[in-house]
Amino acid sequence: MHGSRKPREATDALADPFGDFDDLKSGIVRTIVIRRITLAIFSAVALIVVLVSRISWLNPLPYAPVAWFLLTFPFQRFIERQQTLRALHLAHTFFFIAEVALITVLVHLMGGSEWIGSIFYLFTVIYANFFLPRTHGAIVTGLVVAAYAGLIMFEYAGFIPHRSLFQPFEELHENLSYNLATLLAGPVSVYAVVAFTVRTFAAVYARKNRMLATREYQLERMSRRLLSAHDDERRRIARGLHDDLIQSLAAIKLRLAPARDRLGDDTYREICSIVDGAIAETRTLAYSVRPPLLDDLGLVPSLRRLADSVAEESGLEIAVHAEIDDSLDVAVESLLFYVSRECLQNAVRHARARCVEISVSSADGFARLSIRDNGTGFNPHDVQGFGLRGVRERVGVCGGVLSIDSGSGRGTTITVEVPSHDDASTAR
């Protein structure tokens, strides 16, 4: 969860089936867009019906879906403007209440309970119970049930006039048992049950999400532990090579010196050069496993040494700038060294660069590394082959962020920002 840094309030977990505020908001916006498309189709159909069946132009049928369609635009913007979870849920609830009112008016105008359009409540109930917290969802569902049931009973009692578009239903409307049956089948059973069902689904979804989040957290912790074990292991091997193997080789050379006369000059030189070769090979091996300089003298001398040896091999011009204020964790130093090595390799192999600039700094609990080359550049979205994916993953495990600024012909700048102490990343 390195993307969103929006504030998140503590709420009923069920109310937040999406793990992330931005995800929730975009989910809501998607449902509004789907409504808009549906309403555009409704509007077209309604206009055709009016034209074909010669229904009066004063009839509300064609206007309601058009008005509703237009209303989705300001509502979408209203939803998008919300910055906190609480405000987002309130705005969404407000949207549903407006929708319920609109549907109720439409159902009344189009023939009361007999009109099939009462099914529109369905979407409101489903969406409200999926996206809203329990209480907000219950309010919207209650409102749907009350509005629909109230409409049926008020029309039956004559408090509001009954309008019917279709003649055969006229008599049914005056029949109490028909109205009661509709009331039970419609608002009470269908909508209340739908609300309950969707809420159950949402709960399952939220539980799965929480489980996934826990697992992701565990994986992240395990990766970090593995990484540090891997580092320890390499340090141990490099130390072994340096402190034991090379020392023994050096001892051989020292012990040979007094025997020089007995061996003869040529043999002595030959043996010495074999031992020297073994020392050089072991040293190269130890360095590639883990540079001892990193543990003994820290990041900056190691980076300078790295820069020199890469410059020596490749002919690149490499500058190292360092401004380290606070001490860095061993794990962070390892990470930044590893990133620099990978990036330098890329610059040599792929970028055809002439100069590379490595800057490392740390302040306010964050370490920052940037590596800039003047090479050919590449499309940052297509970095599979450049070994950068592994780098990005490793940076992520340490709680850092890697960004790439590159483009054809304008070189590449790779920046890494990471908490300078490991516990800072654990406490996230």
Residue closer to another protein, measured from CB, 249 or 289: 249
Q: Which is nearer to another protein, 293 or 360 (CB)?
A: 293
Kindly indicate which of the ranges 113-121, 210-218, 242-250, 366-374 contains the residues binding another protein, using the contact rule CB under 8 A.
242-250
Residue 272 makes contact with another protein by CB under 8 A: yes
| Unique residue bearing structure tokens 């509709």 | 182
Q: Which is nearer to another protein, 216 or 296 (CB)?
A: 296
Contact stretch for another protein (CB under 8 A) within 157-165, 181-189, 300-308, 332-340 = 300-308
Q: Does 274 bind another protein (CB under 8 A)?
A: no
Distances (CA, A) of 143 to 125, 146, 197, 230, 301: 10, 5, 17, 59, 70
Both tokens assigned to 151:
């409409």
CA distance 357 to 374: 9
Applying the rule CB under 8 A, the residues between 350 and 369 that interact with another protein are none
Nearer to another protein, 36 or 305 (CB): 305
306 binds another protein (CB under 8 A): no
The torsion angles phi and psi of 417, rounded to 5 degrees, stand at -120, 130
Q: How far is the CB of 300 from another protein (least distance, A)?
A: 9
H helix runs in 111-169, sequence order:
121-131, 134-157
Q: What is the DSSP letter of 387?
A: T
State the minimum distance, in angstroms, from the CB of residue 341 to another protein: 16
281 sits near another protein (criterion: CB under 8 A): no
Cα 363 to Cα 358: distance, rounded to the nearest angstrom: 17
CB 380 within 8 A of CB 346: no
How far apart, in whole angstroms, are the C-alpha atoms of residue 49 and residue 64? Answer: 14
Distance separating alpha carbons of residues 372 and 6, to the nearest angstrom: 31
If one asks whether residue 312 binds another protein (CB under 8 A), the answer comes out as: yes
Burial pattern 53-80, b for ≥16 Cβ within 10 A else e, equals eeeeeebebbbbbbebbebbeebbeebe
Report the residue from 170, 174, 216, 244 that binds another protein according to the rule CB under 8 A.
244
List the structure tokens of 351.
């970028």
Beta-bridge mates of residue 17: none
311 binds another protein (CB under 8 A): yes
Candidate residues 301, 380, 387, 396; the one interacting with another protein per rule CB under 8 A = 301
Using CB under 8 A, which of the segments 8-16, 96-104, 184-192, 305-313 binds another protein?
305-313
Stretch that binds another protein, among 18-26, 60-68, 216-224, 274-282 (CB under 8 A): 274-282
Helix-helix angle 388-397:192-239, to 10 degrees: 100
Q: How far is the CB of 266 from another protein (least distance, A)?
A: 16
- Which residues contact another protein (rule: CB under 8 A)? 242-244, 246-251, 253-258, 272, 276, 279-280, 283, 292-293, 296-297, 301, 304-305, 308, 311-312
